[in-house]
Structure 1
Amino acid sequence: MFALAEVERIMQRWSRTGEAQGGRCFSCSDGLVVRDPDIDNMTQVLAGLLDDGDFTQVLRRLDDE
């Protein structure tokens, strides 16, 4: 899981290093971006994904690929 602020921090670093088109984009196949970085929020997001039936679509087991 990544908080929005962490994605911004990574992209700012990439703008200095030239990675990911100079920090103009961010992508990852095995990540989930959440608005707030605290554990309670992350837990609520995971519980919501389970309740909505979206958990296995958003997060997949690595051995399923």
Structure 2
Amino acid sequence: MERLMEKWSRTGEALDGRYFRCSDGLIVRDPGIDNMAQVRAGLLDDGDFTQVLQRLADA
């Protein structure tokens, strides 16, 4: 995952490698609330928010 995120930092994918996502998770490369908020804002700006983070069905 680290190598993939490093590659994306050069290619511009996943907000320049700032996050990695899989079917049930989201990993932000750099720690901290500020970095998580910046990734969330970037996902919203790029229109990817609902693809990366999906609402769970109500119980």
Query: TM-score, normalising length from structure 1?
Result: 0.51
Structure 2 segments unaligned to the other structure (5+ residues): 3-21
Runs of 4+ in 1 over 3 A off after TM superposition: none
Provide the aligned C-alpha RMSD in A. Answer: 2.1
Percent identity of equivalent pairs: 82
Q: Which has the larger radius of gyration?
A: 1
Which structure has the higher relative contact order (CA within 8 Å, separation 6+)? 1
User: Which structure dedicates a bigger proportion of its chain to helix?
Assistant: 1
User: Which structure dedicates a bigger proportion of its chain to strand?
Assistant: 2
Query: TM-score, normalising length from structure 2?
Result: 0.56
Aligned residue pairs total 38
SS in 2 for 1:61: coil
Structure 1 segments unaligned to the other structure (5+ residues): 5-27
1:3-57, CA deviations, whole angstroms, 9 ceiling, x for partnerless residues?
x7xxxxxxxxxxxxxxxxxxxxxxx632101111111000000000000000000
